[in-house]
Structure 1
Amino acid sequence: MTSRAPSASLAPMTLAPLPAQPADVAWPTQAWPAGGLPDRLNRPRFEALLKTAFETDALGETHALVLVQGGRLVFERYGKDHGPDATYPSWSKAKSITQALVGLLVGDGKLDIHAPADVPEWKAPGDPRAAITLDHLLRMSSGLKFVEDYVPGHVSDVIEMLFESGKADVAHYAASQPLEHAPGSFWSYASGTSNIVARAAGQAAGDLKAYMFERLFGPLGMTSPIPKFDAAGTFIGSSFCFATARDFARFGLLYLRGGVWEGRQLLPPGWVDYARTPTFQQPGVTEGAYGAHWWLGVAGEGSFSANGYDGQYTIAVPDLDMVLVRHGATPLEKKDALKAWVGEFVDAFR
């Protein structure tokens, strides 16, 4: 397959400019350069929000909070029995890692996101799913039926895929779902689509585990990641890549720097802009704006983030040259409170 420059599902728009790495700041490939909190910080608000996160149950449990600004580690705090060497679950933050792997493969000329996806389950003559592209999948706009529900007792394709009948071959489970909407016409967040993408990436890479360490984690100095694969050999790119909070911050910095690391364009030019360009969403969507396997706007206009179940976040904030990583255990009923807290916490720096 050939590569093409990524294009957005919406009309061209102006994106917030991404900051460059300061010339006097080392890249954190070996270790994070340290820095201090900025003078403009609203300290009373900052301290109050930290107390909410770590000393109350308003957000559930906060296990790790890492803050990078100007390429420097300016603040970190950990909850009881957690620390900088602990590995934390990604949950759906893994989707953004999957997007990065696809970008590398596009750059290698091994994937074309605008061509029909190479999915065995869709090869029968006349199968309408054959029109689905990787772009549709990355933008959660494939049109495939998939119920994303984490409430016990509810009908849930994501639980069935990850923990029940689909767990041995997560991509096959997802790709076997019928089409409910024309591809590209309907947005619906679905973890199954990410596993179809991850299998396609594995087919293109050959050995995706070796590829991700050689081409992504290794260059960034990420030594802690533990990606999980199913029995069929597919990276469970919807949900499972453990890493330290500092390593998740390295990944966030790669995107804040437009895919550049150590002065080298690691991701293809334009790939980060593709990730953060809004996808069409039909009226009535309440989950928030979405790009291509990245969420948009959780920490203010122009911000984009990898979000995971239970309140895992890696957030890039271009206007503040900031990366915020939060890990914890936030129950569903406190999800909105955590989102609001994230917005207020970042605003304290404005």
Structure 2
Amino acid sequence: MIRTALAATALILAVPAAAQTAQDQLDLRYDRALTAGYKALMLCGAMAHGTRTVESVAAWELNGIQAPLDGLLADLPPAEISYVEGTAAGPLPIIRTVAVRFADDMPPRIAAHTPGRGCTILPVGMTAAPPLPKPKLLTGREVFQLVSPEFDFPANALGRMGFSTSYGAGARSTGVAIVKDGELVGEAYAEGFTQYTPQRTWSVAKSLAATVIGAAVQRGEADVTGSAGLGASDADPRRAITIDHLLRMASGRYSDTPGNRTDPLYFGGATVTEVALDWPLIAAPGGTYRYANNDTLAAIAAIAPTFDAHPPASLFKTLGMERTVAETDWQGNYILSSQVWSTSRDLARFGQLYLDDGIVNGKRLLPEGWVQYVSTPSGPQPEGEFGYGAGFWLLNKSEGVPPDTFAAFGNRGQYVVIVPSRNVVIVRRGEDPVGARFDIAAFTRDVLAALED
């Protein structure tokens, strides 16, 4: 009986171990699919929007990325890139698709490029996406420009400050642009990057999203104090969540990880509707702070009916952000929590809009008081050295930095710092590896001091 009992116990213990092995295998397969999607989308975005090479993207965007993707990239086969012409001939071939295989028994992960709409990652197993319409653009309107014209600006000491190792061990800057009084006064780039090189903005897109919403408010097409329309019906408590709650990361909805990693959407081919809008409520709206990609995505979804007439591309064009593209999921929903490609100069123009109180060429694009709205804390605040407004971070606790300073922050070291009291915009682009952190507060303080000299 003792032997029988021991054998039974061993069998019971062996079942969870076997199940765990099966789960590990399943997780590995899923992670490989996500990694292949990451690789395809990054190659597509960097190469379709600029003149980057596969080698350049491998050295920057595909280097130092988050776990578990980082350990799986080297095992993936080379990407298969197709072009509109069918070959890579010509000075600027137009990319059609980038495909990366992750399993022998499945189709490759595919990022599909639509001119004017950017790159879209398709769901796992999908080999062709329905075509997305080109965005409508405003015509016949003068665009905003910085004082400095679009010619090569020689790298200067002010711009090169952003490449100093004193702002973070291991940080890797790719571009710096500094504007004072509407004039480009500092600029510098890493080798292989120029003022014409777009990079993914990551969460700087959240501040762009707040700006797109502000423009809709100015047109009378949105109300930040109104319901964002979440929930199944008017009886659903989530209907109480407003656009303001979402912009302030105070929806009260659950998110499964700090920062709310949305890999299934970003790299897995899921849609905004599938993964971002249905999270349950666990706290009263407005009562807690929880940084979440899904909140920004829900805020943008709330104004989606305005995009037929006023897509983000129209606002970017008005601002002179000619090399900025907001990308979507394969159903055409904007992923304005992260998936935007833009240059340093374009982001400087974005910052300048706020220095000019939302007015471009004499026309008000953002509501009066919008600058104060996005840069003023309200309700719960994040722990740590930075505060949060409505779609923007606040440097109100940073020593030596003017208290009115606010900023757009993005993964891997993307920063757009706006200092109204000094009429300054500071843009820093990077591809910082996991574990490295660029000290944006110290850099801002030093740039402002240098501008005083």
TM > 0.5 between the two? yes
Distance 1:276 1:131, change over 3 A: same
CA distance in 2, matches of 1:340, 1:79: 20
Contact 1:149 1:159 in 2 (8 A): no
> How many Å apart are 1:157 and its aligned residue?
3.9
Query: Residue 98 in 1 paired to residue 209 in 2?
Result: yes
> How many Å apart are 1:49 and its aligned residue?
4.0
Contact 1:149 1:158 in 2 (8 A): no
Unmatched segments (≥5 aa) in structure 2: 1-141, 150-155
CA distance in 1, matches of 2:290, 2:298: 15
Instruction: Provide Cα deviations, 1:53-106, integer angstroms capped at 9, x if missing partner.
Output: 5x9972521100000001101110001111111112111111111111111111
> How many Å apart are 1:339 and its aligned residue?
4.3
Instruction: Provide Cα deviations, 1:144-179, integer angstroms capped at 9, x if missing partner.
Output: 1114557xxxxx542244223xx4212431211111
Residue matched to 1:192: 294
> Over the residues paired in the alignment, what is the CA RMSD in angstroms?
2.7
Contact 2:169 2:437 in 1 (8 A): no
| Number of equivalent positions | 301
CA distance in 2, matches of 1:187, 1:268: 25
CA distance in 2, matches of 1:107, 1:233: 24
In structure 1, give the amino acid aligned to 2:209. T
1:175 counterpart SS class: coil
> How many Å apart are 1:116 and its aligned residue?
1.3
Query: Residue 203 in 1 paired to residue 203 in 2?
Result: no
CA distance in 2, matches of 1:268, 1:112: 11
Residue matched to 1:178: 280
Correspondence for 1:137 among 243, 246, 253? 246
**Larger RCO, structure (CA 8 Å, separation 6 or more):** 1
Distance 1:173 1:251, change over 3 A: same
Residue matched to 1:295: 393
Query: Residue 79 in 1 paired to residue 177 in 2?
Result: no
Correspondence for 2:266 among 138, 143, 162? 162
Residue matched to 2:312: 212
Correspondence for 2:171 among 60, 69, 82? 60
> How many Å apart are 1:280 and its aligned residue?
2.0
Unmatched segments (≥5 aa) in structure 1: 1-26, 35-42, 151-155
Distance 1:327 1:47, change over 3 A: closer
Contact 1:101 1:201 in 2 (8 A): no
Runs of 4+ in 1 over 6 A off after TM superposition: none
Correspondence for 2:365 among 266, 286, 293? 266
Query: Residue 222 in 1 paired to residue 338 in 2?
Result: no
Distance 1:287 1:198, change over 3 A: farther
Larger radius of gyration: 2
CA distance in 1, matches of 2:332, 2:206: 17
Query: Residue 33 in 1 paired to residue 148 in 2?
Result: yes
Instruction: Provide Cα deviations, 1:219-249, integer angstroms capped at 9, x if missing partner.
Output: 2111111111002211101001111111110
CA distance in 1, matches of 2:234, 2:144: 49
1:98 counterpart SS class: helix
CA distance in 1, matches of 2:392, 2:427: 14
In structure 2, give the amino acid aligned to 1:84. Q
Residue matched to 1:146: 255
Contact 2:146 2:183 in 1 (8 A): no
Contact 1:161 1:192 in 2 (8 A): no
Distance 1:337 1:106, change over 3 A: closer
CA distance in 2, matches of 1:287, 1:98: 23
Contact 1:168 1:232 in 2 (8 A): no
Q: Percent of aligned pairs with the same residue? A: 32
Residue matched to 1:21: none
Residue matched to 2:416: 314
Instruction: Provide Cα deviations, 1:27-72, integer angstroms capped at 9, x if missing partner.
Output: 98345427xxxxxxxx99x69944515x997252110000000110
